[in-house]
């Protein structure tokens, strides 16, 4: 099958602050045994990076910053950052336990009402490695707020989440930071112009139209409109009851050394479902001229870029 390319305050003991929610209070000592464990672990990691126990007895100079032996993959930090943000938003005074697993040295959230915010969904927009085993992850969240017992959508908000990790284990060095939305990018120039209307050769537009009708509307046998072995199957159940080709741009290349003529195309189609809801979609396709008929040879993926791009 061919598819087109896709600190807080150290040791300070703070008294319990009564909260309105009646949740379990945090431990009075911020450095109890269970909190010392990760600190000792990271201390050992640091000693390893500095050359081991010899560093304590006068051997060796300062090592470069970072967590030795850390993975450079951003997959783990990205997922962990989303979990941290999802735990952070509903946390509040006397209800910080949810974020302790992510940031053991988190400050008490005095004055923050628990369970007043939550994330409907989160998506990672980018991950930047600051040093070995140290990342900042940009996460966008659909933030919802509770007022008078009802939840309301507050819209998308963007956060920078700091993640430190080693060997698949992660922690943070601070609370999440709300940041501005990233700026937009300039779209590259495509090899084909955006489709505006259907003015191409009837044979090509007919094949593209019938292929998409079969794909999206279950109208006809989709295999009839694709080259043998492509194997694109119709969507089931079909999302639309009617499908109309509303835009097409294409360029035909003549045969080369016995190969068939080929056509690169950008198609725009509008589908309407049984409830009358319409949706316009775009597709990049490639077609071959086989025995005098155009057949879809490649489907999906990104449109080809202009040569200069």
- Across the chain, what does the average pLDDT equal? 82
User: What is the spatial distance between Cα 259 and Cα 253, in angstroms, rounded to a whole number?
Assistant: 10
Q: What is the pLDDT of residue 256?
A: 84
Q: How many other C-beta atoms lie within 10 A of the C-beta of residue 67?
A: 19
pTM for this model (two decimals): 0.66
> Which CATH code of 3.40.50.740, 3.40.50.300, 3.10.450.540, 3.30.200.20 fits the domain covering 33-179?
3.10.450.540
Q: What is the pLDDT of residue 214?
A: 98
> Domain locations in the chain?
33-179, 197-299
User: What is the spatial distance between Cα 96 and Cα 79, in angstroms, rounded to a whole number?
Assistant: 21
Q: What is the pLDDT of residue 255?
A: 86
Q: What is the pLDDT of residue 53?
A: 30
Q: Over 50: is that where the pLDDT of 270 sits?
A: yes
Q: What is the pLDDT of residue 42?
A: 45
Span 232-257, mean pLDDT? 94
User: What is the spatial distance between Cα 26 and Cα 92, in angstroms, rounded to a whole number?
Assistant: 11
Span 213-230, mean pLDDT? 96
User: What is the spatial distance between Cα 83 and Cα 26, in angstroms, rounded to a whole number?
Assistant: 21
Q: What is the pLDDT of residue 151?
A: 97
Q: What is the pLDDT of residue 111?
A: 97
CA atoms within 13 A on the CB side of 309: 11
Can you spell out the DSSP letters for 212-259? HHHHHH--S-GGGGB-TT--PPPPSS-S-SEEEEEEEEEEEE---TTP
Q: Over 70: is that where the pLDDT of 184 sits?
A: yes
Q: What is the pLDDT of residue 277?
A: 98
- Top-confidence residue, 38 or 248: 248
> If we measure between CA atoms, which residue out of 283, 297, 291 comes closest to residue 229?
297
Span 100-107, mean pLDDT? 96
Highest mean pLDDT out of 12-16, 251-255, 268-272: 268-272
Highest mean pLDDT out of 54-68, 135-149, 187-201: 135-149
Band (pLDDT 50/70/90 cuts) for residue 258 is: confident
Q: Where are the alpha helices (DSSP H) in 18-143?
A: 33-49, 75-88, 97-100
- pLDDT tens per residue across span 45-78: 343 333 333 332 333 333 333 343 444 567 899 9
Give Cα separations from 131 to 145, 172, 245 (angstroms). Answer: 35, 14, 50
Q: Over 50: is that where the pLDDT of 103 sits?
A: yes
Same fold: 33-179 with 197-299:
yes
Band (pLDDT 50/70/90 cuts) for residue 150 is: very high
> If we measure between CA atoms, which residue out of 230, 306, 214, 227 comes closest to residue 269?
214
> Which CATH code of 3.30.300.20, 3.40.50.10310, 3.40.50.970, 3.10.450.540 fits the domain covering 197-299?
3.10.450.540
Band (pLDDT 50/70/90 cuts) for residue 115 is: very high
Q: What is the pLDDT of residue 72?
A: 56
Span 84-93, mean pLDDT? 98
């Amino acid at each position: 099958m061919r598819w087109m390319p896709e600190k807080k305050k150290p040791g300070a003991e703070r008294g319990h602050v009564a909260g309105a929610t009646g949740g379990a209070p945090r431990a009075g000592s911020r450095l109890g045994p269970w909190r010392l464990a990760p600190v000792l672990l990271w201390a050992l990691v640091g000693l390893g990076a500095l050359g081991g126990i010899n560093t304590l007895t006068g051997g060796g100079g300062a090592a470069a910053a970072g967590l030795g032996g850390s993975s450079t993959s951003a997959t783990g930090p990205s997922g962990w950052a989303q979990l941290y943000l999802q735990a952070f938003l509903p946390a509040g005074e006397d209800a910080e336990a949810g974020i302790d697993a992510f940031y053991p040295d988190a400050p008490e959230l005095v004055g923050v009402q628990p369970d007043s915010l939550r994330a409907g969904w989160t998506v990672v927009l980018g991950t930047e490695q600051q040093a070995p085993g140290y990342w900042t992850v940009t996460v966008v969240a659909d933030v919802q707020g509770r007022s008078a017992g009802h939840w309301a959508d507050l819209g998308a908000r963007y956060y920078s989440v700091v993640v430190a990790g080693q060997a698949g284990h992660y922690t943070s060095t601070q609370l999440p930071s709300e940041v501005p939305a990233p700026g937009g990018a300039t779209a590259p120039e495509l090899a084909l112009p955006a489709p505006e209307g259907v003015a191409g050769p009837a044979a090509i537009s007919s094949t593209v139209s019938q292929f998409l009708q079969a794909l999206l509307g279950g109208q006809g046998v989709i295999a009839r409109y694709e080259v043998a072995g492509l194997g694109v199957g119709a969507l089931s159940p079909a999302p639309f009851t009617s499908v109309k080709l509303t835009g097409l741009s294409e360029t035909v290349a003549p045969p080369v050394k016995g190969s068939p003529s080929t056509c690169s195309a950008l198609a725009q189609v509008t589908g309407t479902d049984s409830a009358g809801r319409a949706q316009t979609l775009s597709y990049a396709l490639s077609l071959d001229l086989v025995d005098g008929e155009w057949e879809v040879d490649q489907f999906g993926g990104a449109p080809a870029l202009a040569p200069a791009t």
